[in-house]
């Protein structure tokens, strides 16, 4: 039996952020991880997905070079080399994280951990069981890709993002079930490198939950690049045929080589020993006090994708890990500001949002104003040939900015200035008084803020 200040189960963004942050309080930490620290995000999520999207962007830039008077022969995608690049990026970051955990004195315990009663974790290490005791415990066991009936994942013809990030050759015809963030990111990169892509979405818009204007602008752009959307459609069970897979829906049939199921992620909470604690679950997700991240079991915290009613995003995991460690080490609260979390879809173009959407403002009966400014007149956007999209700011009438969205190039970077506006509850007039450099893409935000403050320029 080994006693630590903190024992963490799961080495993804929630767990590793908690482990790293604990050095600020001189805590002794054990991090239990069944694979390698990094989690979904580093190994089969954010990082590899964004690497593929960047590869597609490079390919697309070279393909369109002639539009800028730069003559190059049409590019070819060396899929194997691209896969190597993705693997190198992942490996570099995973190794870097391992080094940082070591430097911070975190004991990484390899094996499968289960909560085993008050303050302890049993770890199946592969050659025996080890029990770790902690003054506090953090559960950060993350999530898995869900599927739907009729789409049994075989890793070949029916896959999840786990497999798709490691495809060893380019699929020519792909059906993506689910037009959420993950589905649209794959659609964007595959279409850019020349695959035929169909996206099936059951709801009435893609990236459900986001501002309908953002969703429409993205769909328009993706459609122009050949992606076929089937919106408001419920697919029927897949049919395997020699030449591929058939996706039947509403009397129609689409044949593809592979189906990527991207219908959301479920929590890894079945077999982690929660039944031996007083922690409460809601639909499999762990219920916590959002001020502290503590569960109903004193001294047991939960962070990351397993937490009920919070966005499944890596940076949310980081913030929740920090909140949990702060409370466990000091008793003080450092709650996550869920109102000001940026949400980015890294498609081409990117969609980024923060705070509430116009739909939510209207559903909540708020007295609000929505102000929009298009990218089409923004000089820098014209220079780079990407002047489609817009910025939108939602503010309370005579009150602060409560939400914003940007669709267009670098939207995921630009959203952060709007994050400050939402987080600091700035009035449009306060934010608009600050000057944006010219010519920059961010001017689309500056122009929107000026218009929201009642005095537009261009
Ligand atoms: C394709 C894809 C793209 C994504 N892109 C983005 C993005 O761009 N930006 C973003 O913010 N989010 C993105 N996400 C979501 C992001 O990856 C998750 O929100 C984040 O990884 C959640 O962190 P976590 O620590 O809760 O869980 P995870 O990252 O899932 O980590 C959990 C860890 O716990 C380990 N584990 C589980 N059970 C046990 C056990 N019993 N014992 C020991 N170890 C265990 C697992 O091996 C894993 O390493 C993406 C996800 C996917 C699938």
* Beta carbon of 183 within 6 Å of any ligand 1 atom: no
Q: Considering only CA atoms, which residue is closest to atom 5 of ligand 1?
A: 46
Q: Is the CB of 9 under 6 A from ligand 1?
A: yes
Q: Please answer whether residues 390 and 375 qualify as being in contact, where contact means their C-beta atoms are separated by less than 8 angstroms.
A: yes
Please tell me the residue having the least CA distance from ligand 1 atom 19: 313
pLDDT > 80? residue 300: yes
At residue 171 the predicted structure's pLDDT band, cuts being 50, 70 and 90, is very high
pLDDT classification of 400: cutoffs 50, 70, 90:
very high
For ligand 1, is residue 41 a contact (CB within 6 Å)? yes
DSSP 108: E
Check for a shared fold between 158-263 and 349-452: no
Strand bridging mode 239-241 / 244-249:
antiparallel
Above pLDDT 70, what percent of the chain? Answer: 100
Is the C-beta atom of 49 inside 6 A of ligand 1? yes
pLDDT for the residue numbered 2: 75
* Mean pLDDT calculated for residue range 16-42: 98
Whether 445 contacts 353, CB under 8 Å: no
- Residue 275: CB atoms within 10 A of its CB come to 12
CATH class belonging to 158-263: alpha beta
Q: Atom of ligand 1 at shortest distance to CA of 304?
A: 26
Q: Which residues are paired to 30 by β-bridges?
A: 7, 107
Q: Whose CA is nearest to atom 52 of ligand 1?
A: 45
- Cβ atoms of residues 172 and 244 within 8 Å: no
Ligand 1, atom 21, lies closest to the CA of 41
Residue 451, pLDDT above cutoff 90:
yes
CA 446 to ligand 1 center in whole angstroms: 35
CATH number attached to the domain at 349-452: 3.30.390.30
Residue 123 CA: nearest ligand 1 atom is: 42
Question: How many other β-carbons are positioned within 10 Å of the β-carbon of residue 67?
Answer: 8
Per-residue b or e along 153-183, where b marks 16 or more CB atoms closer than 10 Å to that residue's CB: beeebbbbbebbbebeeebebbbbbbbbbbb
The structure's pTM equals 0.97
- 114-117 long-range Cβ contacts below 8 angstroms, 24+ apart: 114/9, 114/271, 114/272, 114/273, 115/9, 115/139, 115/272, 115/273, 115/274, 115/276, 115/277, 115/300, 116/273, 116/276, 117/276, 117/277
Is residue 438 part of the annotated active site? The answer reads yes
- Judge if the beta carbon of residue 141 lies within 6 A of ligand 1: yes
Q: Is 140 in the pocket of ligand 1 (CB under 6 A)?
A: yes
pLDDT at 42: 98
* Angstrom distance (rounded) from CA 418 to CA 341: 10
Mean pLDDT, to the nearest integer, of 273-277? 97
Domain ranges of the chain: 2-144+266-338, 158-263, 349-452
For 323, the token pair is: 């909140």
Q: Does the 2-144+266-338 domain belong in CATH 2.30.30.90?
A: no
Model confidence at 384: pLDDT above 90: yes
Tokens of 291: 């001020």
């Amino acid at each position: 039996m080994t006693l630590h200040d903190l024992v963490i189960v799961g080495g993804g963004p929630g767990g590793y952020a908690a482990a790293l942050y604990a050095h600020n309080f001189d805590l002794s930490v054990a991090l239990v991880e069944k694979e390698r620290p990094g989690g979904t995000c580093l190994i089969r999520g954010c990082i590899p997905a964004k690497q593929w999207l960047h590869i597609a962007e490079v390919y697309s830039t070279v393909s369109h070079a002639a539009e800028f008077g730069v003559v190059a022969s049409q590019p070819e995608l060396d899929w194997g080399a691209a896969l190597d690049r993705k693997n190198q990026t992942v490996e570099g970051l995973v190794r870097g994280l391992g080094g940082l955990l070591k430097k911070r004195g975190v004991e990484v315990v390899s094996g499968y951990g289960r909560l085993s009663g008050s303050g302890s974790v049993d770890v199946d290490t592969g050659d025996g069981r080890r029990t770790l005791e902690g003054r506090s415990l953090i559960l950060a066991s993350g999530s898995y890709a869900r599927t739907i009936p009729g789409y049994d994942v075989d890793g070949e013809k029916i896959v999840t993002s786990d497999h798709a990030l490691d495809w060893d050759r380019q699929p020519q015809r792909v059906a993506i079930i689910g037009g959420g963030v993950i589905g649209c990111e794959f659609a964007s990169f595959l279409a850019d490198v020349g695959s035929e892509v169909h996206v099936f979405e059951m709801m009435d818009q893609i990236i459900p939950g986001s501002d309908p204007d953002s969703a429409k602008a993205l769909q328009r752009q993706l459609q122009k690049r050949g992606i076929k959307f089937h919106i408001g459609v419920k697919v029927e069970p897949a049919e395997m045929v020699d030449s591929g897979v058939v996706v039947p829906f509403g009397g129609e049939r689409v044949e593809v080589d592979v189906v990527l199921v991207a219908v959301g992620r479920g929590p890894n909470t079945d077999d982690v020993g929660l039944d031996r604690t007083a922690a409460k679950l809601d639909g499999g997700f762990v219920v916590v006090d959002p001020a502290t991240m503590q569960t109903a079991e004193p001294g047991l915290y939960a962070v990351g994708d397993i937490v009920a009613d919070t966005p499944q995003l890596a940076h949310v995991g980081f913030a929740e890990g920090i909140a949990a460690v702060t409370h466990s080490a000091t008793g003080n609260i450092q709650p996550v500001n869920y109102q000001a979390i940026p949400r980015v879809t890294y498609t081409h173009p990117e969609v980024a949002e923060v705070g509430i959407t116009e739909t939510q403002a209207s559903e909540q009966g708020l007295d609000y104003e929505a102000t929009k400014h298009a990218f089409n007149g923004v000089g820098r956007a014209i220079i780079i040939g990407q002047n489609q999209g817009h910025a939108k700011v939602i503010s309370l009438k005579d009150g602060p900015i409560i939400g914003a969205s940007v669709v267009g190039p670098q939207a995921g970077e630009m959203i952060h200035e709007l994050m400050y506006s939402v987080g600091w509850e700035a009035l449009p007039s306060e934010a608009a008084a600050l000057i944006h450099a010219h010519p920059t893409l961010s001017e689309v935000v500056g122009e929107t803020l000026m218009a929201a403050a009642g005095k537009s320029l261009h």
